[in-house]
């Protein structure tokens, strides 16, 4: 998440910074992800939500509308809709149109399969709507190795439709892996071709990504390469996802903190509320929008979220001079590789996690839950490493 903090308005006491206030939590999230369905036509090998099959307990249309009403009352100005593939829901347009006409702006992420000309025209006529197309390789071979055969062509076709109807600057989003990190300039060219904005985010070992993270995550050398590239291109969006790289020196733009339960959270397709989009696991489930008191009660009162807003201990990072820069990194990444939450990030750029990871190698790690992968989903073999 990146917000305009370059020019803070007003004044604070000297001991209290904006970041401290963020850590203590806001009255409602700034950035809320809402996965509308676990159903997906693809079976990406790094899927954060282990999507595939629809969950029969999915929120109904009227429950979804009620969620929008509550978000509006809480003045959550903007939701990030995802899935699964959100466009699979038959009431997708109903929910999005209701939100965007009731002061809840929408950005949704799609693999593009269902974004035909008619859908593109409908989107182009809507206000307060942003679209993000996921592509995990600038070429079909690199993308399809992760997202499945034909998924690159489907995404390109969707972008052609958006371009043809003059939708405006949509976003192209990629998850950085060791196979596509060398293609970042090609991605920029692709985005420029479509008049799109490039958004680059971090691979998390969550969902099915927990199984593939060790083979997909960038190497230390590639992390440095990525950091230098991002510093050089501040116009590339990152969703604040690489704050662990700030330990290299100059901070990347953004809040540079873990927003889980403080400024960020996730509502899943059955209405369960998790601390962030990367920790769909019982341990980080704060409640449900179906509980008495709804989403607002969960956000304000849940024991989990209140504990995440307490000052956190630097733990094993206390003696590292970079803790102020990286804040110990990503909670979800630590959790799913089996580290303690106050251990260094598994991708700590100082290498501080490596002895810990070596010590726990082979031990059982938390099993992502729930898992909606299709039982028949075929694991896709990874292509050759591009170096």
Partner 1 sequence: MSVSTSAEVLNSQTDSAHPHSALLDSSLRLDPMVSLRPEPFGALAYHFGTRRLSFLRSPDIVAVVKRLDASVSVTEALRSCAIAQPRWPSFLAAIATLIESGMLLPVSDDPPAAAPETTAAQKDLTS
What contacts 85, CB < 8 A, 6 or more positions away? 37, 39, 40, 41, 42, 51, 110, 111, 113, 114
Calpha distance 248→84 (Å, rounded): 34
- Integer CA distances (angstroms), 4 to 121, 254, 344, in order: 31, 8, 28
Name the pairing type of β-strands 197-202 and 78-82.
unpaired
Give the shortest CB-316-to-partner 1 separation in angstroms: 26
Site string for partner 1, 325-364 (x = CB under 8 A): ----------------------------------------
Number of residues near partner 1 (by CB under 8 A): 46
User: Which residue stretch of 154-162, 210-218, 230-238, 334-342 sits at the interface with partner 1 (rule: CB under 8 A)?
Assistant: 230-238
Q: Which is nearer to partner 1, 12 or 221 (CB)?
A: 12
User: Which residue stretch of 11-19, 59-67, 146-154, 310-318 sits at the interface with partner 1 (rule: CB under 8 A)?
Assistant: 11-19
Site string for partner 1, 99-138 (x = CB under 8 A): ----x-x-x--------------------x-x-x------
Taking CB under 8 A as the criterion, the residue among 21, 166, 220, 301 binding partner 1 is: 21
By CB under 8 A, tell whether 219 contacts partner 1: no
Q: What is the DSSP string of 201-235?
A: EE--S-TTHHHHHHHHSPPHHHHHHHHHHHHH-TT
User: Which residue stretch of 151-159, 216-224, 234-242, 376-384 sits at the interface with partner 1 (rule: CB under 8 A)?
Assistant: 234-242
Give the shortest CB-221-to-partner 1 separation in angstroms: 26
User: Which residue stretch of 158-166, 235-243, 344-352, 357-365 sits at the interface with partner 1 (rule: CB under 8 A)?
Assistant: 235-243
Buried b (16+ CB within 10 A) or exposed e, 278-301: bbbbeebbbbbbbeeebbbebbee
Buried b (16+ CB within 10 A) or exposed e, 193-228: ebebbbbbbbbbbbbbbbbbbeebbbeeebbeebbe
Taking CB under 8 A as the criterion, the residue among 14, 15, 27, 375 binding partner 1 is: 27
Q: Which is nearer to partner 1, 31 or 43 (CB)?
A: 31
Taking CB under 8 A as the criterion, the residue among 19, 57, 75, 164 binding partner 1 is: 75
Q: CA 242, 373, 345 angle in degrees (round to 5)?
A: 25
User: Which residue stretch of 84-92, 174-182, 253-261, 311-319 sits at the interface with partner 1 (rule: CB under 8 A)?
Assistant: 253-261
Tokens in use for 5? Answer: 């903090």
Q: Which is nearer to partner 1, 142 or 258 (CB)?
A: 258
Query: ω into residue 370 within 30 of 0, thus cis?
Result: yes
Asked if 162 contacts 115 with a C-beta cutoff of 8 angstroms, the reply is yes
Asked if 48 contacts 209 with a C-beta cutoff of 8 angstroms, the reply is yes
Write out the residues near partner 1 by the rule CB under 8 A. Answer: 1-5, 7-12, 18, 21, 24, 26-28, 30-31, 33, 75, 77-78, 80, 103, 105, 107, 128, 130, 132, 197, 199, 234-241, 253-254, 259, 264, 276-277
């Amino acid at each position: 998440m990146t917000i305009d903090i370059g020019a803070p308005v007003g004044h604070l006491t000297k001991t209290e910074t904006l970041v401290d206030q963020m850590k203590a939590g806001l009255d409602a999230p700034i950035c809320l992800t809402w996965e509308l369905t676990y159903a997906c036509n693809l079976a990406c090998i790094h899927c954060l939500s282990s999507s595939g099959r629809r969950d029969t307990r999915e929120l109904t249309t009227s429950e979804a509308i009620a969620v929008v009403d509550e978000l509006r009352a809480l003045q959550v100005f903007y939701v990030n809709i995802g899935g699964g593939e959100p466009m699979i829901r038959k009431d997708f347009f109903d929910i999005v149109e209701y939100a965007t006409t009731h002061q809840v702006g929408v950005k949704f992420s799609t693999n593009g399969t269902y974004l035909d000309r008619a859908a593109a025209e409908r989107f182009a006529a809507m206000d307060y709507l942003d679209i993000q197309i996921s592509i995990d390789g600038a070429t079909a071979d690199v993308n399809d190795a992760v997202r499945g055969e034909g998924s690159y062509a489907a995404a390109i076709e969707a972008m052609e439709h958006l371009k043809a109807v003059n939708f405006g600057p949509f976003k192209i989003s990629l998850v950085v892996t060791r196979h596509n990190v060398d293609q970042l300039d090609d991605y920029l060219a692709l985005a420029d071709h479509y008049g799109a904005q490039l958004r680059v985010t971090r691979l998390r070992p969550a969902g099915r990504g927990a199984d593939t993270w060790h083979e997909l995550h960038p190497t230390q050398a590639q992390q440095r390469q990525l950091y230098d590239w991002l510093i050089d291109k501040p116009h590339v969006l990152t969703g604040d996802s690489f704050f662990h790289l700030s330990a290299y020196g100059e901070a990347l733009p953004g809040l540079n903190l873990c927003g889980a339960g403080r400024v960020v959270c996730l509502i899943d397709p059955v209405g369960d509320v998790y601390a962030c989009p990367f920790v769909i696991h019982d341990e980080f489930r704060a409640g449900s929008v179906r509980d008495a008191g709804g989403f607002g009660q969960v956000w304000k009162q849940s024991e989990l979220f209140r504990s995440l807003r307490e000052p956190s201990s630097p733990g094993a990072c206390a003696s590292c001079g970079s803790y102020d820069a990286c804040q110990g990194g990503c909670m979800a990444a630590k959790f799913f590789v089996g580290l303690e939450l106050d251990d260094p990030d598994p991708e700590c750029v100082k290498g501080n996690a490596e002895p810990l990871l070596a010590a726990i190698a082979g031990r059982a790690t938390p099993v992502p839950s729930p898992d909606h992968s299709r039982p028949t989903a075929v694991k896709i073999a990874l292509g050759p490493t591009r170096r």
